[in-house]
Amino acid sequence: MNETKVPFEATISDQAVSLPEKREEELPGRDSISILIGGAAGTGIMTLEKILTGAFKRSGYFVFSTKEYMSRVRGGSNTTLLRIADAPVNAPCWYTDIFIALDTDALSHAHERLTDHTIVLADENITHEEIEITKIPVSRALKELGGRHYANSYVTGVIFGIFGLDEAVLTESMEALFDEEEIHKNKAAMHQGVVYGQSLKDLPFPKLPGQLQQKTNSMHLMDGSSASGFGFLAGGCNMITAYPMSPSTGVLNFMASMSEHFTLLVEQSEDEIASLNMVLGGWFGGARAMTSTSGGGFALMSEAVSLSGMSETPAVIYLAQRPGPATGLPTRSEQGDLNLAIYSGHGYFGRIVLAPGDLQECIDFGYLAFELADRYQMPVITLSDQYLADSIGMLKRVDFSAYVQRRYILPTDALYERYKFTENGITPRGVPGLGEGLVVSTSDEHDERGQITESSHMRDKMVKKRKKKISLAILEAHSPKVMGEGSIAVIGWGSTKGVITEVLRELADPRLFQVHFVWVHPLDPRHLEMLKETKTNIVIENNVTGEFSDILKKHDIDIHHRILQADGFAFFTDLLKEKLYNLVKEQK
């Protein structure tokens, strides 16, 4: 990331920043194969995922991987799905071409995801009455190598051997993860796996798609947590304080790792209440601060969200959703916190809620969250979820110098009034120590100087002042992305972007087009006019009630159908394709 020059005296009268322009490049082909790997927690499935995604990328393929795992340190049954393609893929499939079971439980756990064409590989000691298994001698090989913890390296070798891929590339990917002490044994295990995999080449394995080495070499492999973190850094974040909570902890860990390279304060607070109050203190003192949390933690932050609204102190909150209520499913995915993000806190005040849908949008709107919070002096909540945060995809090289940074802070004079009335409701923001003025802020209703008041007249004027900010923010809302044209709008928000895009491409129904919302609150009615003209509106959401479709209805948008899912999984391309096809096939 290049060093950026930051103007410290930006004002609301400056033109709103725009996101760097990006040219969408459509690549030919769309072939892909899927590999599902199942095993117990604590046996290194995530390491296996990292080795394989890196190795397939180095081999010239587009790679996407996502995981489902149980909330425990060891045991249970988890899976990682890899899709290897000749064009970008950004969504999982349910049914798999190849399944590798690392233990017996994995067979039962993934049974529903196997078809008559799925090739199942497992150790020769593993059996199942209903599943035909191609045996591989994992246990025997590991006995010779001296330990079961080399199983994953052996399996990666089997996969590369099956497809006849370059062993040296797999070695490079492995060397990036293991230290000097561990690498030799793992390489030996990998080599034995390669040799055995090559002996299976006559089995009817699916063929790999074409390689695009030049394209993939110029791209980055990244998960959603890291992409969001890069976005926050691009936005000038220099302070994060958070209490760990899955699946938001990935961002906290990423930012901690970046603290060696950036001027960035990282604090693990004692709880979520403290973390958001610390964020407000940071902004009051001139920092660009944020917190990361998930549904239960955000619920605890409710009072501090109100404090941000009343004191007009900016705040950036990264909220990674997981299924609730209460502890719910800590390691699974859902889009069930939209209403919580929009309505949390007491009293009337403005906020902005953003929901990026892919890696690039994680960067763009992570950056924009800081710009908006500073510009409008209100909380900005960025919604992610476990699926988006934990999935690994590929991203084009990003020019971070194109992200313009500003600071909406002005030096104060002796007569400075923190809440001075202005035409648009936004008072130039001063911070203590920058100028001669006294900067006073309070959670009570206050006058223009920031002094507590119970005057009904002042209360009325301050309420209207804060309301003006909301009206101004709506005018600068980003419009939904419309892809294609037709009579049936397929509407989504946040992390459903990739799966809807792929399903519409595969259905190739000229009536269907996609409408993707990232700016989900407050909505600009002008952006919704097109949905009043479409013949049919279908909303796809990863929750049980259709929270976003209800919001659209409040804006007088007719919602004709909803496809909802709240089973802890994100949508799968093949299952969603079937649902959507059945829904629209009879429509004219």
CA distance 491 to 478: 16
Higher pLDDT, 184 or 419: 419
Give residue 456's identity as a one-letter amino acid code: S
Higher pLDDT, 27 or 99: 99
pLDDT in tens, 239-291: 999 999 999 999 999 999 999 999 999 999 999 999 999 999 999 999 999 99
pLDDT of residue 500: 98
β-strand pairing of 512-517 with 488-493 = parallel
CA distance 120 to 311: 59
CA end-to-end span of the chain = 51
Q: Collapsing DSSP states into helix, strand and coil, what is residue 197? A: helix
Residues facing 80 on adjacent strands: 37, 67
CB < 8 Å & 24+ apart, contacts of 411-417:
411/9, 411/435, 412/436, 412/437, 412/438, 412/439, 413/437, 417/448, 417/449, 417/450
State the average pLDDT for the chain.
Answer: 94
Q: Collapsing DSSP states into helix, strand and coil, what is residue 140? A: helix
pLDDT of residue 150: 86
> Is a pLDDT exceeding 60 seen at residue 2?
no
Confidence label for 423 from pLDDT (cuts 50, 70 and 90): very high
CA distance 565 to 333: 10
pLDDT in tens, 341-385: 999 999 999 999 999 999 999 999 999 999 999 999 999 999 999
Give the residue-averaged pLDDT of 412-422: 97
pLDDT of residue 213: 82
Give the residue-averaged pLDDT of 546-560: 98
CA distance 412 to 429: 9
CA distance 147 to 450: 67
Percent of the chain with pLDDT over 90: 84
CA distance 182 to 86: 33
**Do residues 224 and 248 lie in contact, with contact meaning Cβ atoms separated by under 8 Å?**
no
Lowest mean pLDDT among 204-208, 241-245, 541-545: 204-208
- Cα dihedral sign for 174, 180, 181, 187? positive
Confidence label for 28 from pLDDT (cuts 50, 70 and 90): low
Q: What stretches of 145-235 adopt beta strand conformation (E)? A: 219-223
pLDDT of residue 4: 53
**Do residues 282 and 314 lie in contact, with contact meaning Cβ atoms separated by under 8 Å?**
no
What φ, ψ does residue 549 adopt, rounded to 5°?
Answer: -65, -30
CA distance 10 to 422: 16
DSSP code string of 73-138: SSEEEEEEEEEEESS---S--SS-SEEEESSHHHHHHTGGG--TT-EEEEETT---SSS--EEE-H
> Is a pLDDT exceeding 50 seen at residue 78?
yes
**Residue showing tokens 């599902």:** 36
CA distance 466 to 468: 5
In eight-state DSSP terms, residue 520 is: E
CA distance 83 to 79: 13
Q: Whole-model pTM?
A: 0.96
Give the residue-averaged pLDDT of 333-348: 97
| Inter-CA distances, 259 with 252, 287, 406, 463, 565, Å | 11, 15, 21, 39, 38
| Inter-CA distances, 378 with 104, 119, 374, 559, Å | 52, 53, 7, 31
pLDDT in tens, 476-513: 999 999 999 999 999 999 999 999 999 999 999 999 99
> Is a pLDDT exceeding 90 seen at residue 425?
yes
pLDDT in tens, 43-69: 788 889 999 999 999 999 999 999 999
**Residue showing tokens 């924009």:** 368
pLDDT of residue 201: 83
pLDDT of residue 1: 46
Give the residue-averaged pLDDT of 154-173: 95
pLDDT of residue 214: 80
Lowest mean pLDDT among 210-224, 304-318, 355-369, 505-519: 210-224
> Is a pLDDT exceeding 50 seen at residue 458?
yes
